Structure 1
Amino acid sequence: MKFYSIRSRLIWFLLIAVTLPLLLSMTMTFVLTKHSLREQATQENERLIFQGITNLDNYLQGLNRASIGVYNDPHFLRNLAKIPDDYRAVAEIYTTLQTMMNATSGIDQVYLHSFEAGQSTLITSTVPLREFRLEPFTGFIHYGPSGLFIQPTHMKHLYGFSAVSYAEHSTEQQVFTLHRAIRNIPASETLGVLAIDVDLEPLRSICRQLYDADTEELFLIDRNGTIIYSGKEASIGTHWKESDLLNRISKEGEHGVIEDDTALHVYGKLDANLSGWTLVKKIPHRTLYLRATRLTQINAVITGAALLLAIVATLWISIKITAPIKRLTRYINQIQSGQLDVDIRAMSNDEIGVLSRRFRQMMDTINNLILREYKLELANKTHQLKALQAQINPHFLYNTLQSIGTLALQHEVPRIYSLLSSLAKMLRYNMRDHTVVTLKEEAEHVKQYLDLQKERFGEQLEVTYQWEDEVLNDRVPKMILQPLVENYFKHGADPRLGPGEIRITGSRIREGIVKITVENNGTNIPQAELEQLQHMLKRPLKAYEEPDTSEQDSIGLRNVLLRIQLHSEDGSNTLCVDNILPHGVRYTLEIRTEAHTEIHIKGE
């Protein structure tokens, strides 16, 4: 049930709305950064590898040119046959080999073997060595058409010379060797072999500029997979373990990029006619995407802080929005349990606050209606009790009055008969169920009432009637004149003011509107009471509305006003009361009669 609450759904919605874009943004940033870094690294390293290949090719070309220096000396090939008998020839060969050794940096020693003379010569940085041999120390090497072969990196050796005679020589050094067959050009006869041992320092100097030794790896490999040079000294001269990658490189172009699950490999191939080596740079993914990872970590920290802030803000907003709803729900639960007078407080001015205030007003209205209904029910019980106490059959009373009147005639007392007839007619008029009568019937009822009052007051009461004939047939609400006349006898009659006068007039003031005036010469209504009475008569009344304590004395006027308002569709019928100078009261009725509009009786 909690999941379906507004607070839960609002929290989940806001969290998803904030979290999802942040995570998508971080993911897209990481992916795009990785792609950008890969492209950038690929381009930069392809340029580096190309420059490294160029430098290595240039260096090997220098070694190659140094090795073919033997053909530049026109006496060198002839001197090969003269040694060791001709000391001049020996000196010239020493000079040529020494020049060759100094032609390019990195040459450690030069070995020469002459087949015709059967002599091997080793030129080092210290002293030259000679020795008679039938076969070269290097054995028979397949040099190919070019007469050139580059031996992979190996440990430096003495080419069979005695270590005693070469005490300063150290064999704890790695070199690669360029072998060349010396041929009697243009013939293909091999006169001797030349071997040039080259230190790895020139290769190291070129390669260290191409990679970061702490995070990357660089390999210089020959066609057979032997490592010529590597940043890892222990692997130099060994077979490269990544044979599958080597096979893929051998099938690809002169340069390119190959990526596997762990690293990016950028390679370039050296001149195939000279060395056929391949330069491979291995960039691990952790190095390649280091900046992307760091950026992602920074973004993750920022995103985490943003998410934390978003969660706090989401919870705060959700609680702030839904707290008034929960408070209103608690109020409703209290009301449901029977606490109808619960104090509903609206703490905000938003829609929920407006709803709370409207709900509070509704509960006030309901409480007032319940209280009014209770009062009506109590009044109804009281009226029922009073009706039971005064339960007299009206028809029995009417027949009794007729019997008394007949008895008065028998005793020759016509005045008593006349008064009893008036009282009986009044009683019969009140007993009728009709709520609307003709103005003539209403006027006759008031006349009978005043006849009875004249019997009481005698010469002290004078009544005047002035009715227009055309209005007597108009239909008006029943019992609207007697309460106005009664007010004189209840509140206005005063013998000190002289004989009492009551004047009743009725006329048509405009089409469909009848004006009835009831005037008396009794005492004036006090000004404060008059203003209160006028205020009460100006506001619309309702059938179920209970009069205030201050309005109890004017209940007759209230009933008259209520009757004429119920008789009107739009409530336009009015009742006005004013004082007359020097003394007296005037009641004015303006009624839309039934002759010109339908009657709609409204009430409860």
Structure 2
Amino acid sequence: MNKPFLSIRVKLVLLYSLTILLPVVIIAFVMPSYYIKIITAETEKLTNETLVGLTGNIQTYLDDLERVTISPYTNNEVMNSLKLKARSLRSPVDDYSKYKADYTLYHTLPNLLVNLRKDILGTLLVTIDGSVYYNDSSSQLTEVRTDYPYTESSWYQEAVKANGRVAFVTVHPQDYLKLSAVPDVFSVARLIKDPDSRQPLAVIMADADTVILDKIVRQFSFNVNSIVTITDKDHKLIYSNTSLSGQNPENLQDRQHSYVSVTREIPTSSWEITVWLSKAELASKVHWMKVTGAAFAVGGVLLTFFLFFAYSRTLLTPFKEMIGVMRQVQHGNMNKRVRVQGQDEVAQLGSVLNRMIDQLDELIINEFRTKLNLRDAEFRALQSQIHPHFLYNSLNALVSLNRKGERALLERSIVSLSGMLRYILTSQDSCTLEEEFSIIRKYGELMSLRFSDRLTMSIDLAPGLAHVRMPKLLLQPLVENAIIHGVEPCEHPCRVAVSAEAVPDGTGGEKIVIRIVDDGMGFNPSQLKDQRVGLNNVKERLALAFPDQHEFHLESRAGQGTSITITISANGKELP
């Protein structure tokens, strides 16, 4: 599996990111977040300590309210009056006793409450027989409503359910009094029971204004944007120092700004005091650090990036030049050299590269000369194989004419043969298609004199291919094979056609298609003997002259003739 390629510039960028960008990001963003976390934790700790005092003050106030509800137990006259009220439900009571009981509840009970806290709004007493007595701490003669369903109200039910224990009643309207404006209050209620029989006698409730909670809360200092809420055991809102949307303080989590909550419970009432600390306010304490860090980050990144870009460009430019020179050398331009400046490692590398190109150029030239000489030797060796083979077949033809006594034809054949030998023995190893087709035409004339009407030659060369060069005597052995092995054994007239044409190669260039076709004896290609010198010689010379640019295709059927197709492709390049 190949490893992913990373350029030097990419590696430098990664190094720059690790050494410069990462510390800058940590200083500009991570450190402020870390300090915000520390400040938040410290603020939560201080707020929790403050809540200890706040909870104690509210607990003290609730204890005072609770003491109001147990005041009837401290006076025998009040307790006897409540017992009389309860007994009247079971048996008749004289009017004097009723009057005395009412007098006690109207006058004696309020005297018990006169020394209690002045910020308690009042106490409401509902006896078991349905009588209602209200004592207003402000000494106002406030009347109670006679049409109010006291025993069905939630606070009454909570007191009865507590069965003598204190019941802390959440915020509710003071609608059981005849007031022009009905305020919201919170209360402490208790069921008064007979100490002897444990039978219920009355329900007493002490009312307090929520303003007292605000006074207690404001005695303590919290963050400016902090929200303080007090909720009952059912998480219903009793008090908030700011206006909230809805009565559920959990809605704070859905607001635009998020909060951190610090909660403490008031033990006896199970109420909870929660301080909601604004994260935005906490974050503002390190705003200066963020601004300074961001300014440092931007300035540092711009400065270091400029220095990095300038240095990397200075460092990488010589490497790019070396890569360009090596690509030029790869494409065969051995004259390119690297400009060497200075004496540093890069300059030394450029000098070494130049020396390597010089040595490589010399090595290539020597190798090319060696291969060229070797190739010429192979060409001459293969071509020398054609000479005796051609002479053998031509002399046999002359012998045949001599035996037939055809001296005129024999003379013409000797003249043609001498012209062909003169061409073959020239020192050149290549020729044009026009010259090759000319020698084929002369050889055809020589063979036509021998076979007379039994041989017909057809030679067709496209005019545009006359200048194309190829190895000398490349096609003549194939024509010779067609005549000797295809035509000579036949008793019927035969035809040998030689053609060359240019066709498109599908890549924008052209390829040469040469065909040698006869309708002679034919043979089975699978039984072709390897010792056929002419055919093997042509294949080897094609491989040397046109490596990876040629195709040789032979088709033959016994009794039907033979077809040889040679295709020479330039691989998209213009043919010579």
* TM-score class, shorter: 0.3 to 0.5
Which structure would you say has the larger Rg? 1
